[in-house]
Structure 1
């Protein structure tokens, strides 16, 4: 099936959203038990961790950890926002740079100024969007970023989105409470799909959509370790307590170029495979054997693939044993933790 389709449904009683591209599962979001990224707390500073330069905080959902803290005394109240999912037994990762994000607009209380996404090049469009931003933001001291999907969007829809985020920001930042409290819930999968999957797409909301559109079959593959590669090879993706191990297998191909072909296929496939499985942290790839002269080209292919992925990923490079290492933000809940 050609084209892009967003399927909104539930699985095992959990809200979930799937993005199908040309009949293949390209992205998947599912609600977990942990507070989702974007949740905003009024938290209380608990105790510093001097060796790590951070502070443990008290929140309604348990302990949180804030990095790079300066001048924050135990007992102080502050606003923080959840940035990702914690590993089992660890504190919730948070930041004190709170953002209010929707489909078209991001309100940035600590970064004043009106900004347009740099990917929007057309000057007339930029001028149109700036006019909308000035009209809605008026004399607000908060900052604003208009996202790339604003191109061609209806002015009233953009203005409504900016106004909603501005109102939410004012309510949260001016809340008079004096105890740890949840001030805003992070978006669930259906809202995230509307917010972040902005390319032209068909949307399916009927119950049973996952089964009808092949999402359940794709999830069966994602719940296993094997991910097929073009050309007959496979990736084997094994999460461990310390890291995610990825093994590139050439399959039945025994030609001299088999390793190189499988490794370049891995570069194209791996971002989607990790994204769908919700995997992050340290990732070590055991590449198939190939000449060292091909390493630079492979690294460029990996860099291009992860740049288009949207989830923050750092390419650490090659190890002395010939493995390739990545560091990826834990922005998703692992599929294996919510689907059994």
Structure 2
């Protein structure tokens, strides 16, 4: 068939999403096994042992140990918010960062990096003005910034506003979590269907 199609099914018993363009497979996403920590997962974690010579530390979560590369100023037993950045390599802890990002289809919300921006890939000046007007209607909490993603170029204005508002709300709730208490998972990383909706262009046809 001509055009693009996104299909959802299972591969090896795990949920999967496939993107087809003109009858050819362009991308395939498969959910990770249940025992793998997915990139983008957010935890309240506790600092464990430092890794001397690496400038990092092991941090403890309910799902296992993570490797925090930059742990300067942190002491063993401290609690903090972390987000996994990639899958773990064999025999190693899953990498994590304290720089949390909240990514959705139309927006990237950036705690700790204030300001509002529009993706450089959106080159149409008239559309950029329209998006700036949309941003003027949105209230950002202190200390947060955002970037409108490329999908905003062709997105419905109300859908963009709703997506931005929902993502800011999620970010605000996570960032206001108390650091007291036991390690806890606060936000699941995206599934294959989440990633397909978030990162793939709008298809001509969707087949569930």
Bucket of the pairwise TM-score, normalised by the shorter protein: over 0.9
1:75 CA displacement = 1.0
In angstroms, what is the RMSD of aligned CA positions? 1.5
Cα deviation for residue 200 of structure 1 reads: 4.1
Higher strand proportion, which one?
Answer: 2
Other-structure match for 2:19: 19
| Distance in 1 separating the partners of 2:141 and 2:21 | 43
| Matching residue within 187, 192, 197 for 1:194 | 197
Q: Which residue of 1 aligns with 2:187?
A: 184
After alignment, is 180-189 or 27-36 more displaced? 27-36
Task: Write the distance in 2 (CA, Å) between the matches of 1:36 and 1:28.
Answer: 16
1:203 is matched with: 206
Relative CO higher for 1 or 2, CA cutoff 8 Å, sep ≥ 6? 2
Q: Is 2:159 the partner of 1:157?
A: yes
Q: In 2, distance between residues paired with 1:133 and 1:140?
A: 15
Deviation string, structure 1 residues 201-232 (Cα, Å, up to 9, x no partner) = 32111xxxxxxxxxxxxxxxxxxxxxxxxxxx
Q: Distance in 2 between matches of 1:19 and 1:158?
A: 23
Aligned to 1:263: none
Q: Distance in 2 between matches of 1:19 and 1:139?
A: 36
Within the alignment, does 1:148 sit opposite 2:144 as a pair?
no
In the alignment, what sits opposite 2:9? 9
By how many angstroms is 1:87 displaced? 2.1
**2:168 is the alignment partner of 1:166:** yes
CA distance in 2, matches of 1:25, 1:113: 38
Q: Sort the Cα spacing of 1:146 and 1:16 in 2 relative to 1 into closer, same or farther, 3 A.
A: same
What is the CA–CA distance in structure 1 between the aligned matches of 2:92 and 2:74, rounded to whole Å? 21
Following TM superposition, by how much is the alpha carbon of 1:107 offset from its aligned partner in structure 2, in angstroms? 0.6
Aligned counterparts of 1:58 and 1:182: Cα–Cα separation in 2: 11
**34, 47, 63: which one aligns with 1:45:** 47
Q: Partners of 2:27 and 2:117 in 1: how far apart?
A: 28
CA offset digits 1:233-289 (Å, max 9, x no partner): xxxxxxxxxxxxxxxxxxxxxxxxxxxxxxxxxxxxxxxxxxxxxxxxxxxxxxxxx
Going from structure 1 to structure 2, the CA distance change for 1:78 and 1:117 (only over 3 Å counts) comes to: same
The offset of 1:114, in angstroms, is 0.2
Aligned: 1:80 with 2:79: no
Looking at structure 2, the residues matched to 74 and 83 of structure 1 have their Cα atoms a distance apart, in angstroms, of 22
Unpaired stretches in structure 2, ≥5 consecutive residues: none
Paired residue for 1:101?
Answer: 103
Q: What secondary structure sits across from 1:136 in the alignment?
A: coil
What is the SS of the residue equivalent to 2:190? coil
Q: Secondary structure at the match of 1:137?
A: coil
CA distance in 1, matches of 2:141, 2:17: 38
Q: Does 1:116 align with 2:118?
A: yes
Show the counterpart of 1:228. Answer: none
Alpha-carbon distance in 1 for matches of 2:205, 2:84: 31
What's the TM-score once normalised by structure 1's chain length?
0.58
Structure 2 counterpart SS, 1:169: helix
Q: Which structure 1 residue ranges, 5 or more long, are not aligned?
A: 206-340
Larger Rg: 1
